Structure 1
Amino acid sequence: MLAMAQIDYIRHEVNRKGDSYASVARRVEVDQRTVKKYADQDEFPVRPPQKRPSPVMDPVKPILDKWIKEDLQGKKKYQRTAKRMYQQLKKFHSFEGSERSVRKYVSRRKKELTEYDQEAALPLESIPGTAQVDFGTAPFDYGGRDIDLPFLVMSFPYSNTFYFQVFPSENTECLLEGLQRMFHYMGGVPKIIRFDNLSPAVKKIYSKGNRELTDTFERFVLHYGFAYEFCNPGKGNEKGHVESMVKYIRNNYLLPACTITDLDLFNKTLWTMAEDDRERLHYKRDIMLTDLYEEEKTNWLFPPGKPFECVRYETCKADKYGFISVDGKQYSTSPRFAKQRVRVCISYDAIMIVNEAQEVIVRHSRLYGIKRKSMVWQPYLELLAKRPRAIKYSSLYNQFPKEWSDYLQNCTEEEQKAALRLLTNLLKNDDFSILNQALVLASEHGHPDVDQIKHCFYTLFHYGERYEKVPAGGNIPQVPDITRGLSHYDAFFREGDEKR
């Protein structure tokens, strides 16, 4: 196609000056039929650019469009990067194109679908042996539930490396537990660590940059000997490296949502992920991140030989049933502590009731999320086994599973004592599941005694399923159902009299 300037010249020479097609064709060096075409043409509409076929990218464009639109429906921090999309195309769709083509397409499509505000960030000085710390969040499938969990990131601006751990909360105990894990795994402590004004570390901010720190955080700093810095309020860009690293980790390791069954085991796999990421060149220097990280280590402090106890102690008053409240969650103690003050040791994953000698009396897994009450049965069962009549006048009666509350209601006092002693001996980890199955199985032919329940429990415990029933139609006589009382004896003697 001729340039617009050439077309304009042809039309001017032929239509205005009256030159022949042939003479103008010689001057422009084109065929005279081309000259005639443009000289006689009436319309010059704007033509859309011709779309060239792309046999590699065209099949995956609908997939990329779907992913981009799905991501744009959620939070920006949960959106996949073009690199991550490229990796998934290769893995799940046998994509043979280049990462550059995917990046180019994703960038263009995102601009077509939305507008982004680019914020400028001030470069921060990178000093070997220093670190920055912050929490991020990512979606997880944890215990069968879709939930957002925080992950703690420690980044090293000089070497552009990091470590991270996932926790159930952003409280003080999780912060200190995460830092301590990293220090001892690394075998060193950064000389200076920069934080945002995290509530687990900062109680209150005063004028002129003064801060009141939480007691546990201050003791943690003294234990490990590092210097701390805090960003000015509202100036998160002052720790821009860790904020960028939070996004990098989420995009490259935590999206799409990871499935977790055991959080501690999952966290152990994250050390290797962080170390494998160092097998690449620094984005500015022509040096491997592994080499820069080794240089970082020479500037660290040596960690103390003894770990810090990442717990806090509180004194709580139990209610009339022996329950205490910690961070809005209810935990059982023992009936003997009802309406008394007890000492509580709180870690990131446990709530422990301790005595004056710091010995653990009752231990709970710490509650997070929607569950609001944790019950450890042993202390209560021991008391109820001695005083079974009290069970009917206690709210604990309603705490039992329905199978057991119905059963106990139909028991005599001696049967209640025996049943409660059985529960005390067999109930482990406060899990009633097998005991419930045993009671239902033992109750198939009426009200069972304790020995029958115990036999069914061990059958289920060792074999995992009930014994096989005898097939119907055999020669075994029908066994009558169990009945309570002496009425069956009366029937027996009446039958004997009739025969005589």
Structure 2
Amino acid sequence: MLQVEQIDYIRLEANQKGCTYSGVASRMNLDPRTVKKYADQEKFEQRGKVVRPSPIMDPVKPIVDKWIKEDLKKKKKNHRTAKRMYQQLVKNHSFKGSARTVRDYVSKRKRELKEYIEESSLPLDSTPGTAQVDFGTAPFEYNNVVIDLPYLVMSFPFSNCFYFQVFPSENTECLLEGLQRMFHYMGGVPRTIRFDNLSPAVKKIGAKGERELTETFERFVLHYGFQYEFCNPGKGNEKGHVEAMVKYVRNNFLLPECFITDLDHFNEAQWQLAEEDRDRLHYDKNVLQSVLFSEDEEEWLILPEKKFECARREEVTADKTGMVTVDKKLYSTSPRFAKEKVRVQISYNEIMILNDHNEIIVKHSRLYGAKRKSMVWQPYLHLLSRRPRAIKYTNLYEQFPPIWTDYLMNCTEEEQKEALRLLGTLLKNNDFSLLNKALKQASSHGHPSSDHIKHCFYTLRKDNRLYQEVEPKVKVPPVPEATRGLSHYDAFFKQEVTT
């Protein structure tokens, strides 16, 4: 087909200047009949693409399309090559075409499917396999006190389904822990996830909308391979589905205040509640939401082999008492690290202090709320044993079981030194259970020494070992009953009575 410029030239020369068809054809190196055709043409309709039937490829195109869609959910290194697809078609589907035919079709079809996925991610509210994420807050009753806690919601606009988990904060570690829990419970990763400009994910928004992401969030995205989208600042309506679902979850599952004793146990129960909610018709499509959710599942990416470590590491300097500051909270290390740098691994629920070899020095539960200091005294006990008078200036007694508090208060200074050295040696992971039993047993005859407590401790630990009674394979004959004295020897000295 001629270019638009060529057709314009033909119509100008032939129709307006009166040149002959053959003269124009000669100058343009065309057939005169072609010149006449375009000079006389009345309509210039857009010609549709002619699709020629392919008797060889048409029967196997659905199979190849299915393979390509499956591969697009995996890492590139795990994609089947066109050559491998050709071999499978020949072996399993009696394909008679050439490898080149398959290669050309696979190349073209991959381009089309990738373009479709990229374009379809724009109308997020109606595309299977996509999700929206946001935090909400709700009141909870904890230790007889009502507190507000955040909960993370992942909604699926296509099926109108959701998952949610409750956390102690809206920090980066809680966000990533929640997303990872959902991915692994679902068994897949949404292709595209839309977020608000959450501070756990977005560090800074540039003048032209560019976003500087937090380093941990960037690594998380790379690990799971999903595409992320962020709403424009002040445009929360761009994730309207999850905002509506946040309200729906609060009204239907979290009000009135839920009573929480263990947050992890509470969250485990929420998976089933979210799944039971799918057994209703979609508000617009008149189809069960559980059926639509299965279409979401078909479009998810495959999970990576390993989980992501939802934690960040920092290097901080301890003060002269060995305390470090993490997110404006104080955590103890050990006296030997006073004024030295230590590594801190921060997850949503733990703070681990590490040495240069990444070995754990001490482990803390992460602090939230009003409490500002976490003290694990075990690493400090040997230091205190050299200065027992300093105990009264610490909160050591508050952290000890009452039985040990009473014992130490009734000790002399020298006895306190020995007792603290003993605790520094025997106490592991702040577990006083066996030490409490040892002290109670040792105290049964009065005020015990450290050596007496130590002896009871090791005796109890030995007695706590479990032994299995083994049935003997050989039958042992019964042992005759023992008798006291020497009367059984009289049998050797009895005289025979003769008649």
Q: Deviations over 1:8-52 (max 9, x none)?
A: xxxxxxxxxxxxxxxxxxxxxxxxxxxxxxxxxxxxxxxxxxxxx
2:309 corresponds to: 309
2:241 corresponds to: 241
Please list every run of 5 or more consecutive structure 1 residues that lacks an aligned counterpart in the other structure: 1-122, 462-500
2:204 corresponds to: 204
1:208 counterpart SS class: coil
Does the 8 A contact of 1:138 with 1:148 survive in 2? yes
Does the 8 A contact of 1:322 with 1:332 survive in 2? yes
1:119 corresponds to: none
2:388 corresponds to: 391
Alignment of 1:66-105 (within 5 A): none
Comparing 301-310 and 439-448, the one that deviates more: 439-448
Residue 400 (str. 1) matches residue 397 (str. 2): yes
Alignment of 1:434-445 (within 5 A): none
Q: Deviations over 1:263-287 (max 9, x none)?
A: 1111111111111111010001111
Alignment of 1:222-301 (within 5 A): 222-301=222-301
User: Which residue identity does 2:159 align to in structure 1?
Assistant: S
C-alpha displacement of 1:431: 6.6
Q: Following the alignment from structure 1 to structure 2, what is the Cα–Cα distance between the partners of residues 441 and 146?
A: 42
User: Which residue identity does 1:181 align to in structure 2?
Assistant: R
Equivalent pairs, count: 336
1:164 corresponds to: 164
Q: Deviations over 1:457-491 (max 9, x none)?
A: 99x99xxxxxxxxxxxxxxxxxxxxxxxxxxxxxx
Q: Deviations over 1:161-213 (max 9, x none)?
A: 00111111100000001001111111111111110110000111111211111
Q: Deviations over 1:252-307 (max 9, x none)?
A: 11111111111111111111111111101000111110110000111111121111
2:255 counterpart SS class: coil
C-alpha displacement of 1:412: 3.6
C-alpha displacement of 1:399: 3.1
- TM-score (norm. length: structure 2): 0.61
- The structure-2 alpha-carbon separation of the partners of 1:341 and 1:396, relative to structure 1 and needing over 3 Å to count, comes to farther
- The structure-2 alpha-carbon separation of the partners of 1:406 and 1:272, relative to structure 1 and needing over 3 Å to count, comes to closer
Please list every run of 5 or more consecutive structure 2 residues that lacks an aligned counterpart in the other structure: 1-122, 462-499
C-alpha displacement of 1:221: 0.8
Q: Following the alignment from structure 2 to structure 1, what is the Cα–Cα distance between the partners of residues 431 and 389?
A: 22
Alignment of 1:144-159 (within 5 A): 144-159=144-159
Q: Deviations over 1:357-414 (max 9, x none)?
A: 2222211111111222112122112444xxx332324786443339667754663454
C-alpha displacement of 1:133: 0.1
Does the 8 A contact of 1:321 with 1:338 survive in 2? yes
1:221 corresponds to: 221
| Root mean square deviation of aligned Cα | 3.2
Q: Deviations over 1:80-101 (max 9, x none)?
A: xxxxxxxxxxxxxxxxxxxxxx
Q: Following the alignment from structure 2 to structure 1, what is the Cα–Cα distance between the partners of residues 436 and 329?
A: 26
Q: Following the alignment from structure 1 to structure 2, what is the Cα–Cα distance between the partners of residues 220 and 240?
A: 25
Alignment of 1:342-381 (within 5 A): 342-381=342-381
2:220 counterpart SS class: helix
- The structure-2 alpha-carbon separation of the partners of 1:232 and 1:310, relative to structure 1 and needing over 3 Å to count, comes to same
Q: Deviations over 1:326-354 (max 9, x none)?
A: 11111111111011110000001100011
Q: Following the alignment from structure 1 to structure 2, what is the Cα–Cα distance between the partners of residues 346 and 397?
A: 26
2:136 counterpart SS class: strand
Does the 8 A contact of 2:388 with 2:413 survive in 1? no
- TM-score (norm. length: structure 1): 0.61
- The structure-2 alpha-carbon separation of the partners of 1:250 and 1:441, relative to structure 1 and needing over 3 Å to count, comes to farther
Q: Following the alignment from structure 1 to structure 2, what is the Cα–Cα distance between the partners of residues 130 and 196?
A: 15
- The structure-2 alpha-carbon separation of the partners of 1:271 and 1:368, relative to structure 1 and needing over 3 Å to count, comes to same
C-alpha displacement of 1:319: 1.2
Does the 8 A contact of 1:170 with 1:200 survive in 2? yes
C-alpha displacement of 1:153: 0.4
Which is greater in Rg?
Answer: 2
Q: Following the alignment from structure 1 to structure 2, what is the Cα–Cα distance between the partners of residues 239 and 201?
A: 16
Q: Following the alignment from structure 1 to structure 2, what is the Cα–Cα distance between the partners of residues 389 and 325?
A: 27
Does the 8 A contact of 2:125 with 2:241 survive in 1? no
Does the 8 A contact of 1:126 with 1:157 survive in 2? yes
